[in-house]
Structure 1
Amino acid sequence: MSPAGAVQPDEVLADPALESRARDLSAGLRCLVCQNQSIDDSDAELAKDLRVLVRQRLVAGDTNAEVIDYLVSRYGEFVLLKPRFEWGTLALWATPVVVLLSGVAFAVSSVRQRRRESAVAALSAEEEAALDDLARSRQ
Protein backbone atom coordinates (compact mmCIF):
# COMPACT_ATOMS: atom_id res chain seq x y z
CA MET A 1 0.00 0.00 0.00
CA SER A 2 1.52 3.32 -1.05
CA PRO A 3 1.42 6.13 1.48
CA ALA A 4 -1.15 8.83 0.85
CA GLY A 5 -0.07 12.30 1.86
CA ALA A 6 -3.17 13.57 3.58
CA VAL A 7 -4.92 10.41 4.80
CA GLN A 8 -5.19 10.56 8.57
CA PRO A 9 -4.77 7.45 10.74
CA ASP A 10 -8.37 7.71 11.95
CA GLU A 11 -9.58 7.42 8.33
CA VAL A 12 -7.77 4.16 7.58
CA LEU A 13 -10.02 1.11 7.42
CA ALA A 14 -9.21 -1.97 9.51
CA ASP A 15 -9.74 -4.27 6.52
CA PRO A 16 -6.59 -4.03 4.33
CA ALA A 17 -8.48 -5.09 1.21
CA LEU A 18 -11.10 -2.35 1.66
CA GLU A 19 -8.40 0.19 2.50
CA SER A 20 -6.53 -0.74 -0.68
CA ARG A 21 -9.71 -0.27 -2.73
CA ALA A 22 -10.33 3.07 -1.00
CA ARG A 23 -6.81 4.24 -1.87
CA ASP A 24 -7.19 3.12 -5.48
CA LEU A 25 -10.48 4.98 -5.79
CA SER A 26 -9.42 8.16 -4.02
CA ALA A 27 -6.21 8.40 -6.09
CA GLY A 28 -8.45 9.02 -9.13
CA LEU A 29 -10.76 11.52 -7.44
CA ARG A 30 -10.11 15.26 -7.69
CA CYS A 31 -10.09 17.51 -4.66
CA LEU A 32 -12.79 20.01 -5.50
CA VAL A 33 -10.95 22.71 -3.55
CA CYS A 34 -7.38 22.14 -4.80
CA GLN A 35 -8.50 20.91 -8.23
CA ASN A 36 -5.17 19.46 -9.36
CA GLN A 37 -4.67 17.07 -6.48
CA SER A 38 -6.28 13.79 -5.66
CA ILE A 39 -8.29 13.65 -2.47
CA ASP A 40 -5.53 11.40 -1.05
CA ASP A 41 -2.99 14.20 -1.45
CA SER A 42 -5.13 17.12 -0.33
CA ASP A 43 -5.40 18.50 3.19
CA ALA A 44 -8.63 20.36 2.40
CA GLU A 45 -11.59 19.60 4.64
CA LEU A 46 -13.75 18.66 1.65
CA ALA A 47 -11.12 16.17 0.49
CA LYS A 48 -11.21 14.56 3.93
CA ASP A 49 -15.01 14.39 3.73
CA LEU A 50 -14.75 12.69 0.34
CA ARG A 51 -12.15 10.19 1.62
CA VAL A 52 -14.46 9.32 4.52
CA LEU A 53 -17.45 9.07 2.16
CA VAL A 54 -15.56 6.68 -0.14
CA ARG A 55 -14.69 4.47 2.82
CA GLN A 56 -18.26 4.56 4.16
CA ARG A 57 -19.63 3.46 0.78
CA LEU A 58 -17.10 0.61 0.57
CA VAL A 59 -17.93 -0.57 4.08
CA ALA A 60 -21.63 -0.46 3.12
CA GLY A 61 -20.84 -2.96 0.34
CA ASP A 62 -20.71 -0.74 -2.76
CA THR A 63 -18.54 -1.83 -5.66
CA ASN A 64 -15.84 0.52 -6.95
CA ALA A 65 -18.08 1.46 -9.89
CA GLU A 66 -21.00 2.21 -7.57
CA VAL A 67 -18.81 4.48 -5.44
CA ILE A 68 -17.59 6.37 -8.52
CA ASP A 69 -21.13 6.62 -9.93
CA TYR A 70 -22.40 7.94 -6.60
CA LEU A 71 -19.71 10.63 -6.44
CA VAL A 72 -20.21 11.63 -10.09
CA SER A 73 -23.98 11.88 -9.57
CA ARG A 74 -23.37 14.08 -6.56
CA TYR A 75 -20.45 16.24 -7.75
CA GLY A 76 -20.39 15.81 -11.54
CA GLU A 77 -17.68 14.48 -13.86
CA PHE A 78 -15.30 17.15 -12.54
CA VAL A 79 -14.68 15.00 -9.47
CA LEU A 80 -12.78 12.53 -11.67
CA LEU A 81 -9.13 13.32 -12.32
CA LYS A 82 -9.44 11.41 -15.62
CA PRO A 83 -12.92 12.05 -17.06
CA ARG A 84 -14.69 9.11 -18.65
CA PHE A 85 -15.03 9.00 -22.43
CA GLU A 86 -18.71 9.43 -23.25
CA TRP A 87 -20.66 10.92 -26.15
CA GLY A 88 -21.22 14.05 -24.07
CA THR A 89 -17.48 14.60 -23.72
CA LEU A 90 -16.61 13.71 -27.31
CA ALA A 91 -16.22 17.38 -28.25
CA LEU A 92 -13.81 17.88 -25.36
CA TRP A 93 -11.66 14.95 -26.45
CA ALA A 94 -11.90 15.63 -30.20
CA THR A 95 -11.29 19.40 -30.22
CA PRO A 96 -7.46 19.23 -30.07
CA VAL A 97 -7.37 16.73 -32.93
CA VAL A 98 -9.78 18.78 -35.06
CA VAL A 99 -7.79 21.99 -34.43
CA LEU A 100 -4.51 20.26 -35.30
CA LEU A 101 -5.90 18.75 -38.51
CA SER A 102 -7.47 22.08 -39.48
CA GLY A 103 -4.13 23.82 -38.98
CA VAL A 104 -2.32 21.26 -41.12
CA ALA A 105 -4.97 21.53 -43.86
CA PHE A 106 -4.70 25.34 -43.80
CA ALA A 107 -0.90 25.22 -43.99
CA VAL A 108 -0.95 22.78 -46.94
CA SER A 109 -3.58 24.87 -48.70
CA SER A 110 -1.55 28.06 -48.19
CA VAL A 111 1.64 26.49 -49.52
CA ARG A 112 -0.15 25.17 -52.61
CA GLN A 113 -1.76 28.55 -53.25
CA ARG A 114 1.58 30.35 -52.99
CA ARG A 115 3.18 27.87 -55.38
CA ARG A 116 0.39 28.45 -57.89
CA GLU A 117 0.75 32.22 -57.62
CA SER A 118 4.52 32.16 -57.96
CA ALA A 119 4.63 29.72 -60.84
CA VAL A 120 5.56 31.36 -64.15
CA ALA A 121 2.84 30.98 -66.71
CA ALA A 122 3.86 29.71 -70.15
CA LEU A 123 4.03 32.41 -72.82
CA SER A 124 1.57 32.36 -75.65
CA ALA A 125 2.84 32.13 -79.26
CA GLU A 126 2.19 35.86 -79.76
CA GLU A 127 4.14 36.75 -76.59
CA GLU A 128 7.07 34.57 -77.65
CA ALA A 129 7.13 36.22 -81.08
CA ALA A 130 7.08 39.69 -79.51
CA LEU A 131 9.89 38.68 -77.16
CA ASP A 132 11.96 37.34 -80.09
CA ASP A 133 11.39 40.61 -81.98
CA LEU A 134 12.58 42.60 -78.99
CA ALA A 135 15.67 40.44 -78.62
CA ARG A 136 16.54 40.83 -82.34
CA SER A 137 16.07 44.58 -82.27
CA ARG A 138 18.52 44.93 -79.37
CA GLN A 139 21.27 43.06 -81.16
Structure 2
Amino acid sequence: MFLLRVSLLAALGLSAGSVFGAIELHSFDDPVLQQRYESLTSSMRCPKCENQAIDDSNSPVAKDMRERVASLLRDDRSDIEIQNFMVDRFGDYVLYNPRLEGRTYLLWGLPAGLVLLGAMLVFLILHLRRQSSAKSLSAEERARLNALIEGKKPK
Protein backbone atom coordinates (compact mmCIF):
# COMPACT_ATOMS: atom_id res chain seq x y z
CA MET A 1 0.00 0.00 0.00
CA PHE A 2 2.84 2.38 0.86
CA LEU A 3 4.59 1.64 -2.43
CA LEU A 4 1.37 2.41 -4.33
CA ARG A 5 1.08 5.82 -2.64
CA VAL A 6 4.70 6.69 -3.34
CA SER A 7 4.43 5.72 -7.01
CA LEU A 8 1.19 7.72 -7.32
CA LEU A 9 2.83 10.82 -5.82
CA ALA A 10 5.85 10.39 -8.11
CA ALA A 11 3.59 10.14 -11.16
CA LEU A 12 1.71 13.29 -10.11
CA GLY A 13 4.98 15.14 -9.58
CA LEU A 14 6.27 14.17 -13.02
CA SER A 15 3.08 15.17 -14.77
CA ALA A 16 2.96 18.51 -12.93
CA GLY A 17 6.57 19.16 -13.88
CA SER A 18 5.85 18.58 -17.54
CA VAL A 19 2.92 21.00 -17.42
CA PHE A 20 4.95 23.76 -15.78
CA GLY A 21 7.98 23.16 -17.96
CA ALA A 22 6.06 23.68 -21.20
CA ILE A 23 7.20 27.29 -21.68
CA GLU A 24 10.04 27.39 -24.16
CA LEU A 25 12.85 29.85 -23.71
CA HIS A 26 14.40 31.67 -26.62
CA SER A 27 18.09 32.20 -26.28
CA PHE A 28 20.25 34.69 -28.09
CA ASP A 29 24.00 34.74 -28.55
CA ASP A 30 24.05 38.45 -27.76
CA PRO A 31 23.31 39.18 -24.05
CA VAL A 32 21.81 42.55 -24.97
CA LEU A 33 19.25 40.86 -27.25
CA GLN A 34 18.53 38.33 -24.50
CA GLN A 35 17.89 41.16 -22.03
CA ARG A 36 15.64 42.98 -24.51
CA TYR A 37 13.70 39.77 -25.17
CA GLU A 38 13.15 39.17 -21.45
CA SER A 39 12.17 42.78 -20.89
CA LEU A 40 9.70 42.83 -23.78
CA THR A 41 8.06 39.50 -22.94
CA SER A 42 7.66 40.45 -19.30
CA SER A 43 6.10 43.82 -20.19
CA MET A 44 3.43 42.40 -22.50
CA ARG A 45 0.18 40.89 -21.34
CA CYS A 46 -1.29 37.70 -22.75
CA PRO A 47 -4.62 38.49 -24.44
CA LYS A 48 -6.07 35.12 -23.44
CA CYS A 49 -4.86 34.92 -19.84
CA GLU A 50 -6.04 37.43 -17.29
CA ASN A 51 -3.20 39.67 -16.15
CA GLN A 52 -0.41 37.24 -17.00
CA ALA A 53 2.72 38.23 -18.90
CA ILE A 54 3.51 36.35 -22.09
CA ASP A 55 6.81 35.12 -20.64
CA ASP A 56 4.84 33.32 -17.92
CA SER A 57 1.86 32.00 -19.91
CA ASN A 58 1.32 28.56 -21.40
CA SER A 59 -1.38 29.66 -23.84
CA PRO A 60 -0.83 29.20 -27.58
CA VAL A 61 -1.34 32.93 -28.14
CA ALA A 62 1.46 33.76 -25.68
CA LYS A 63 3.70 31.19 -27.37
CA ASP A 64 3.02 32.84 -30.73
CA MET A 65 3.73 36.26 -29.25
CA ARG A 66 7.05 35.09 -27.74
CA GLU A 67 8.09 33.61 -31.08
CA ARG A 68 7.12 36.82 -32.88
CA VAL A 69 9.10 38.96 -30.41
CA ALA A 70 12.16 36.72 -30.89
CA SER A 71 11.81 36.86 -34.67
CA LEU A 72 11.44 40.65 -34.70
CA LEU A 73 14.47 41.01 -32.46
CA ARG A 74 16.48 38.85 -34.84
CA ASP A 75 15.31 41.16 -37.66
CA ASP A 76 16.92 44.10 -35.80
CA ARG A 77 13.64 45.82 -34.93
CA SER A 78 13.60 48.34 -32.10
CA ASP A 79 11.61 47.81 -28.91
CA ILE A 80 9.14 50.51 -29.96
CA GLU A 81 8.60 48.84 -33.35
CA ILE A 82 7.97 45.50 -31.63
CA GLN A 83 5.51 47.06 -29.18
CA ASN A 84 3.75 48.87 -32.04
CA PHE A 85 3.47 45.58 -33.94
CA MET A 86 1.92 43.86 -30.93
CA VAL A 87 -0.46 46.75 -30.24
CA ASP A 88 -1.56 46.77 -33.89
CA ARG A 89 -2.20 43.05 -33.73
CA PHE A 90 -3.70 42.65 -30.23
CA GLY A 91 -4.72 46.15 -29.11
CA ASP A 92 -3.59 48.39 -26.25
CA TYR A 93 -4.53 45.71 -23.72
CA VAL A 94 -1.29 43.89 -24.54
CA LEU A 95 0.83 46.58 -22.81
CA TYR A 96 1.02 46.57 -19.03
CA ASN A 97 1.91 50.27 -19.05
CA PRO A 98 -0.36 52.09 -21.48
CA ARG A 99 1.13 54.87 -23.58
CA LEU A 100 0.57 58.52 -22.79
CA GLU A 101 -1.91 59.55 -25.47
CA GLY A 102 -4.97 61.75 -25.67
CA ARG A 103 -7.26 58.97 -24.54
CA THR A 104 -5.02 57.88 -21.65
CA TYR A 105 -4.42 61.30 -20.05
CA LEU A 106 -7.16 60.61 -17.53
CA LEU A 107 -5.66 57.24 -16.68
CA TRP A 108 -2.22 58.75 -16.04
CA GLY A 109 -3.42 62.04 -14.51
CA LEU A 110 -6.16 60.80 -12.22
CA PRO A 111 -3.86 59.52 -9.43
CA ALA A 112 -1.91 62.80 -9.32
CA GLY A 113 -5.14 64.78 -9.46
CA LEU A 114 -6.62 62.81 -6.58
CA VAL A 115 -3.50 63.36 -4.47
CA LEU A 116 -3.66 67.12 -5.14
CA LEU A 117 -7.37 67.20 -4.37
CA GLY A 118 -6.78 65.33 -1.10
CA ALA A 119 -3.99 67.71 -0.08
CA MET A 120 -6.18 70.73 -0.83
CA LEU A 121 -9.04 69.20 1.16
CA VAL A 122 -6.80 68.56 4.19
CA PHE A 123 -5.42 72.11 3.98
CA LEU A 124 -8.94 73.57 3.77
CA ILE A 125 -10.19 71.52 6.73
CA LEU A 126 -7.20 72.55 8.88
CA HIS A 127 -7.61 76.20 7.87
CA LEU A 128 -11.33 76.20 8.72
CA ARG A 129 -10.70 74.53 12.09
CA ARG A 130 -8.11 77.13 13.04
CA GLN A 131 -10.46 79.95 12.08
CA SER A 132 -13.40 78.49 13.96
CA SER A 133 -11.35 77.87 17.12
CA ALA A 134 -9.98 81.42 17.01
CA LYS A 135 -13.46 82.90 16.57
CA SER A 136 -14.87 80.99 19.51
CA LEU A 137 -12.54 82.73 21.99
CA SER A 138 -13.73 85.76 23.89
CA ALA A 139 -11.71 88.98 23.78
CA GLU A 140 -10.25 88.25 27.22
CA GLU A 141 -9.28 84.70 26.25
CA ARG A 142 -7.73 85.91 23.01
CA ALA A 143 -5.64 88.51 24.85
CA ARG A 144 -4.50 85.87 27.34
CA LEU A 145 -3.58 83.49 24.48
CA ASN A 146 -1.64 86.19 22.66
CA ALA A 147 0.23 87.01 25.85
CA LEU A 148 1.15 83.32 26.30
CA ILE A 149 2.32 83.09 22.71
CA GLU A 150 4.49 86.18 23.04
CA GLY A 151 5.98 84.85 26.28
CA LYS A 152 4.48 87.48 28.56
CA LYS A 153 2.77 86.72 31.82
CA PRO A 154 -1.02 86.89 31.35
CA LYS A 155 -2.99 89.48 33.34
TM-score, length-scaled by structure 1: 0.65
Identity of aligned residues (%): 32
Task: In structure 1, list runs of 5 or more residues that go unmatched.
Answer: 124-139
Q: CA deviation at 1:95?
A: 0.8
Which among 46, 54, 58 is matched to residue 43 of structure 1? 58
Partner of 1:91: 106
| 1:104 equivalent in alignment to 2:119 | yes
Partner of 1:54: 69
In our comparison, the structure showing a higher alpha carbon Rg is 1
Distance 1:69 1:45 in 2: 21
Select between 53-62 and 108-117 the one with higher mean Cα deviation.
Answer: 53-62
Structure 1 or 2: larger helix share? Answer: 2
| 1:7 equivalent in alignment to 2:23 | yes
Task: In structure 2, list runs of 5 or more residues that go unmatched.
Answer: 1-20, 140-155
Would the alpha carbon gap of residues 46 and 116 (structure 1) be closer, same or farther in structure 2, given more than 3 Å must change? same
Would the alpha carbon gap of residues 41 and 6 (structure 1) be closer, same or farther in structure 2, given more than 3 Å must change? farther
Which among 29, 39, 55 is matched to residue 16 of structure 1? 29
Aligned-residue Cα RMSD (Å) equals 2.7
Distance 1:39 1:45 in 2: 10
Q: CA deviation at 1:46?
A: 1.6
